[in-house]
Amino acid sequence: MAAPASPLVPVAVLMLLLCGAPRTHGRRSDVRVITDENWRDLLEGEWMIEFFAPWCPACQNLQPEWESFAEWGEDLEINVAKVDVTEQPGLSGRFIITALPTVYHCKDGEFRRYQGPRTKKDFINFISEKEWKSIEPVSSWFGPGSILMSSMSALFQLSMWIRTCHNYFIEDLGLPVWGSYTVFALATLLSGLLLGLCMIFLADCLCPSRRHRPQPYPSKKLLPESSQPLRKVEEEHEADDADVSEEEAERKEGTNKDFPQSAIRQRSVGPSLATDKS
């Protein structure tokens, strides 16, 4: 007759399962999550970054290989990271993500796009054998830290904000589609008017309009050499005017001198005529 099984055996098996489950499912991932707040960490050290979306089937197939590759990060002295483009649209525009999944390699601020096979072994060989040196880095004009890509990131964030507002108007507020479009059209017109007023104000402050003011008559000392003939003509006119004024003054003095003599003669002649008549 078989001996009865000990009740301690099922309990021990259950404890092993309970203790082993957290180690399997609760293990911390070695893949770092990159967002708009900490993306500048990529500019220091060596990185491999994956851009993915949860709804993408190819991204879902890559996740096990990417997680296994991240376990070798410490041995390869490399940081393995990922970016969810559905939650970080700004980074999607900053790195010009046009296909999913997209993998980038970064070494001290130089970004290169990885286009090789997507297995753990290929990723490890790409880093250990430094195959990234054969790839041309992204131009500084299109680097994630450039002004152009920063503007592109802001544009992507704005588009995502508009989409969120559109869904809020339709789903939460119950507005029709044309009502949401009307709200955005009015907001666009208003923002354009405000932007125009601000530009006019800045232009008026930086380059104020100059009112026409009569220029004072330049002095003779400040006249340029090119105006010397004109100055001579003016001096001649002034001399002629002075001569004319002197002649008129002399004539007036002559008339004034002749006037009393003629009066005296008339007076002297007047009594003599009277005596002759008498």
Residues known to be catalytic = 56, 59
**Contact by Cβ (8 Å): 79, 45:** yes
CA distance 79 to 47: 5
- Render the burial of 107-144: b for 16+ CB within 10 Å, e for the rest: beeebbebeeebebeebbebbeeeebeeeebbeeeebb
